[in-house]
Amino acid sequence: GEDVEQSLFLSVREGDSSVINCTYTDSSSTYLYWYKQEPGAGLQLLTYIFSNMDMKQDQRLTVLLNKKDKHLSLRIADTQTGDSAIYFCAPRGGGGNKLTFGTGTQLKVEL
Protein backbone atom coordinates (compact mmCIF):
# COMPACT_ATOMS: atom_id res chain seq x y z
CA GLY A 1 0.00 0.00 0.00
CA GLU A 2 0.85 3.65 -0.10
CA ASP A 3 3.17 5.14 2.52
CA VAL A 4 2.77 8.81 3.38
CA GLU A 5 5.28 10.62 5.60
CA GLN A 6 5.03 13.96 7.35
CA SER A 7 6.90 15.69 10.16
CA LEU A 8 4.94 15.52 13.40
CA PHE A 9 5.39 19.12 14.60
CA LEU A 10 5.97 22.61 13.24
CA SER A 11 6.12 25.82 15.25
CA VAL A 12 6.04 29.28 13.65
CA ARG A 13 5.54 32.86 14.75
CA GLU A 14 2.36 34.69 13.86
CA GLY A 15 2.79 36.51 10.54
CA ASP A 16 5.52 34.18 9.26
CA SER A 17 5.05 31.61 6.50
CA SER A 18 4.55 27.94 7.36
CA VAL A 19 5.67 25.13 5.10
CA ILE A 20 4.35 21.63 5.74
CA ASN A 21 5.97 18.82 3.77
CA CYS A 22 4.76 15.40 2.71
CA THR A 23 6.34 12.52 0.82
CA TYR A 24 4.42 9.61 -0.66
CA THR A 25 5.22 6.42 -2.53
CA ASP A 26 2.39 5.77 -5.01
CA SER A 27 3.39 7.39 -8.30
CA SER A 28 -0.10 6.78 -9.73
CA SER A 29 -1.73 9.17 -7.23
CA THR A 30 -4.16 11.34 -9.17
CA TYR A 31 -5.46 13.87 -6.65
CA LEU A 32 -3.48 14.94 -3.61
CA TYR A 33 -5.40 16.54 -0.76
CA TRP A 34 -4.60 18.62 2.27
CA TYR A 35 -6.98 18.31 5.21
CA LYS A 36 -7.10 20.41 8.37
CA GLN A 37 -8.21 19.14 11.76
CA GLU A 38 -8.97 21.67 14.47
CA PRO A 39 -9.00 20.54 18.13
CA GLY A 40 -11.93 18.24 18.92
CA ALA A 41 -13.20 18.22 15.35
CA GLY A 42 -13.23 15.98 12.30
CA LEU A 43 -11.17 16.68 9.19
CA GLN A 44 -12.06 19.36 6.69
CA LEU A 45 -10.72 19.65 3.18
CA LEU A 46 -8.36 22.60 2.87
CA THR A 47 -7.19 22.35 -0.72
CA TYR A 48 -6.07 19.83 -3.31
CA ILE A 49 -3.95 19.53 -6.43
CA PHE A 50 -4.36 17.36 -9.49
CA SER A 51 -1.31 15.32 -10.43
CA ASN A 52 -0.74 17.09 -13.76
CA MET A 53 -0.15 20.41 -11.95
CA ASP A 54 3.04 21.68 -10.31
CA MET A 55 1.50 24.43 -8.26
CA LYS A 56 -1.84 25.65 -7.06
CA GLN A 57 -2.52 28.91 -5.23
CA ASP A 58 -5.63 29.61 -3.21
CA GLN A 59 -5.50 32.89 -1.24
CA ARG A 60 -2.93 32.33 1.55
CA LEU A 61 -2.36 28.71 0.56
CA THR A 62 0.16 27.48 -2.01
CA VAL A 63 0.48 23.80 -2.87
CA LEU A 64 3.62 22.59 -4.63
CA LEU A 65 3.89 19.15 -6.20
CA ASN A 66 7.11 17.50 -7.32
CA LYS A 67 5.93 14.29 -9.00
CA LYS A 68 9.42 13.07 -9.76
CA ASP A 69 10.39 13.13 -6.08
CA LYS A 70 6.84 12.32 -4.89
CA HIS A 71 6.94 15.38 -2.67
CA LEU A 72 4.02 17.62 -1.78
CA SER A 73 4.13 20.79 0.27
CA LEU A 74 1.61 23.23 1.71
CA ARG A 75 2.68 26.82 2.30
CA ILE A 76 0.54 29.08 4.47
CA ALA A 77 1.40 32.76 4.09
CA ASP A 78 0.95 35.21 6.97
CA THR A 79 0.20 32.41 9.43
CA GLN A 80 -2.41 33.29 12.05
CA THR A 81 -3.27 31.75 15.43
CA GLY A 82 -6.43 30.35 13.84
CA ASP A 83 -4.20 28.23 11.60
CA SER A 84 -3.08 26.19 14.61
CA ALA A 85 -4.30 22.67 13.82
CA ILE A 86 -3.17 19.29 12.55
CA TYR A 87 -2.62 19.15 8.78
CA PHE A 88 -2.91 15.88 6.90
CA CYS A 89 -1.59 15.05 3.48
CA ALA A 90 -3.77 12.49 1.64
CA PRO A 91 -2.91 11.20 -1.82
CA ARG A 92 -5.67 9.42 -3.66
CA GLY A 93 -4.32 6.25 -5.20
CA GLY A 94 -4.71 5.52 -8.87
CA GLY A 95 -6.61 2.36 -8.00
CA GLY A 96 -9.82 4.08 -7.03
CA ASN A 97 -11.56 5.46 -4.03
CA LYS A 98 -9.18 5.13 -1.13
CA LEU A 99 -7.38 8.01 0.51
CA THR A 100 -4.22 7.24 2.46
CA PHE A 101 -3.42 9.74 5.18
CA GLY A 102 -0.07 10.82 6.50
CA THR A 103 0.72 10.99 10.20
CA GLY A 104 -0.36 14.62 10.32
CA THR A 105 1.70 17.71 11.16
CA GLN A 106 0.71 19.64 14.27
CA LEU A 107 1.16 23.34 13.49
CA LYS A 108 1.57 25.63 16.47
CA VAL A 109 1.43 29.37 15.89
CA GLU A 110 3.10 31.48 18.56
CA LEU A 111 2.51 35.15 19.21
Partner 1 sequence: DVKVTQSSRYLVKRTGEKVFLECVQDMDHENMFWYRQDPGLGLRLIYFSYDVKMKEKGDIPEGYSVSREKKERFSLILESASTNQTSMYLCASSSRARLNTEAFFGQGTRLTVV
Residues near partner 1 (CB under 8 A) are: 1, 4, 6, 8, 30-31, 33, 35, 41-45, 48, 50, 88, 90, 92, 96-104
Euclidean distance between the first and the last CA atom of the chain, given in angstroms as a whole number: 40
* Strand 4-6 with 55-58, pairing: unpaired
Q: Tell me how far apart the alpha carbons of residues 72 and 19 are, in angstroms, rounded to a whole number.
A: 10
- Shortest gap between Cβ of 15 and partner 1 (angstroms)? 29
Nearer to partner 1 by C-beta: 8 or 111? 8
Our CB check for partner 1 shows the closer of 73 and 100 to be 100
CB of 74 to partner 1, least distance (A): 15
Contact 36, 46 (CB under 8 A): yes
The residue (of 14 and 84) whose beta carbon lies closer to partner 1 is 84
Helix (H) or strand (E) holding 21: strand 18-24
